[in-house]
Chain A
């Protein structure tokens, strides 16, 4: 009995599940005590945290660099929108389709790009991020520039009339993000997940140990794409529709920047990454209103703050604030 306890895994998983439920419960309470604006911002935090998770999984754990996460998010967003708007499926099914279709797309892309690595893979995914939204304009079913609606509908009537659209968004995005991150954390701490790190740190040694490096990288790409796809579905839920311009190249760079700030090698900072992306424009706004300045100043300030944070993160916490916490403990 004592020997079985030494394996730790069941206990760790249960504790982790408890922590996620506790965190979800805290969010639920918090959601009842804040205004619609904070709920809306919270929904974006959850959505971006999920997108950052996909980057951490791909880059930090499997050693592949993608500059095209926005394109994979777009694939998920369109898949979800078509499922709801055209096929008339339930929004939950629509969000599941966002993850599944983007995952399959990532699998195919991963197989095609299996021989690519480093800057070549980055270049390929960058090209994808540039071309995919433009391609979407070519198919009438995708609604061209205006795009198509992504409507999850009103909240269930039993929640009452005071249950706002923003609270409904917050519940959906927070729950989806919690479930997906829980799944990813468990995957990464499993035996299979540890092979990701082995491949990242030393592919030759990993191969000698019997790990199929190529297949593992493709699988990591597919899972990461699925996570990105779900975040894409959530993002267009928050803006009520999907269109090509909802996924600019700058989104990929912002997410990658946030992933670097919060640590590429750990999932502990992903919520912080989401908070950074949502909070920076707010901080810029309040700074400008305090010290005075034009709209143009407000516009350039977020980019300046992100750049400063990136430099500070690389210098002081190269592995992210999560690792810093661990070190102090």
Chain B
């Protein structure tokens, strides 16, 4: 026993010593010919099924840029690590990106619970690591004091709820309104946004913890609402898989025409809804808020360009809203790297986005809000309506862009016109 204990200790110590790799000198991940970026995001698990295309789309766009000369002569590489949407893995994978892969910056991290922990665990603030274009709308990330290197790309969920409240007020007066929302910071941001906008639901919002919206629960909720007279507006503030569960429950109960479904941007991807078994006739008529053009809109020059890139550099992957979002973030990243100049530094990159980010070209149909004091990406929405083909068309036939903030500011109609797409989708800014 005694000898075995000692032996065990020696074996364990030796194993640790053998696993040690000598610490290298500090590196920013930039060389004369390369820039190394990284992302920790779900590739597998239920979140991976929905969002797993985003990092591949970013890489495809970077490959396209690399094939066209790179950024100031440097080729971009993207290290992708799977965090399965688990906080522990997000913390370790992000730490690996910083300490092991030695990336210059992070781009496109996804998830609030995951990224908020990864940010601290990987000491991104202390190391001044740029944390670009994160895929979460949690308003907490706008806190520059807590997340000094983070730049959001999505508008906040509170903004989205405020725009939705205006849509209801302008288009569905007198109808009963209900809300089914995810019971976390995502849903609570949304509920708070409706409250700020002065909207009062007919009944308190139904909140469900993530991963608990079963078919039976959805059927129970819809059965209760089915008796409400008129055509109630049902706000769905959750992920696309939950929207699918609720819509399929409506199909089963023959209630698809009973409600006007108003789905949040996170939960209204038409391709995913169809893939999850929702009928095209059910999708027809769903109202949603969005800040990006529809991925099926071939008249949009950004969409058309990104589809071409996807065909050539992301073979076998169907182009949809997630691929569009990934390529758009990558295009913003390339412009940020260019704006930071040839002598690329982490501090320089952050300053460049603060100074020039609001003018970057992007597929988004609403303005970008970057400044020295704001880390908010897109700061508004347009309202779309899906047809049976899953295409999102402007609600009422005319594109109306709304802008607002996450606080008490009003929702305004904007005459914003997005910057023209750089030739062939290759930024040339400085």
Contacts and interface: CB of A to CB of B under 8 A. Distances in A.
A295 B40 CA distance: 12
Interface stretch (B20-28, B284-292, B382-390): B20-28
Contact of B16 (A22, A45, A299): A45
Interface stretch (B184-192, B242-250, B307-315): B184-192
B116 A241 contact: yes
B183 interface: yes
B317 interface: no
A39 B13 CA distance: 13
A245 B2 CA distance: 40
Contacts of B91: 238-240
A255 to B, nearest CB: 12
B184 to A, nearest CB: 3
Contact of A40 (B86, B95, B211): B95
A299 B17 contact: no
B34 interface: no
B404 interface: no
Contacts of B422: none
B166 interface: no
A138 B209 contact: yes
A323 to B, nearest CB: 8
Contact of B185 (A45, A138, A145, A268): A145
B23 A36 contact: yes
Contacts of B100: 37
A230 B207 CA distance: 32
Nearest to B96: A37
A299 B209 contact: no
B43 A295 contact: yes
B99 A246 contact: no
A275 B15 contact: yes
A296 B42 CA distance: 11
A137 interface: yes
B3 interface: yes
B138 A146 contact: yes
B423 interface: no
Interface string B5-19: 111110111011101
A203 interface: no
Contacts of A26: 9, 13
Nearest to B22: A35
Nearest to B182: A145
Nearest to A42: B16
Given A34-B23, A44-B92, A137-B209, A325 B16 contact: no
Interface string A224-242: 0000000000010011110
Contact of A137 (B8, B13, B22, B184): B184
B430 interface: no
Interface size class of B (residues with CB under 8 A): 35 or more
Interface size class of A (residues with CB under 8 A): 35 or more
B13 A134 contact: no
Interface string B269-297: 00000000000000000000000000000
Interface string A285-320: 000000000011011000000000000000000000
B398 interface: no
Contacts of A295: 43, 80-82
Nearest to B209: A137
Q: Most chain-A Cβ atoms within 10 A of its Cβ — which of B2, B5, B90, B140?
A: B5
A167 B238 CA distance: 40
Nearest to A248: B86
A296 B44 contact: yes
Given A138-B209, A246-B88, 8 more contacts: A27-B13, A35-B24, A145-B183, A240-B120, A245-B87, A246-B117, A271-B9, A275-B15
10 nearest interchain CB pairs? A145-B184, A35-B23, A240-B120, A239-B91, A37-B99, A137-B209, A271-B12, A268-B8, A246-B87, A326-B4
Interface of A: 12, 15-16, 19, 22-23, 26-27, 30, 33-38, 40-42, 44-45, 134, 137-138, 144-147, 151, 165, 235, 238-241, 243-246, 248, 251, 268-269, 271-272, 275, 279, 282, 295-296, 298-299, 322, 325-326, 329
28 contacts: A19-B9, A27-B13, A30-B16, A37-B96, A37-B99, A38-B20, A137-B210, A138-B183, A144-B184, A145-B182, A146-B112, A146-B116, A146-B184, A146-B185, A238-B88, A238-B91, A239-B87, A239-B117, A239-B118, A240-B120, A241-B117, A245-B86, A245-B87, A251-B88, A271-B9, A272-B15, A299-B43, A325-B7
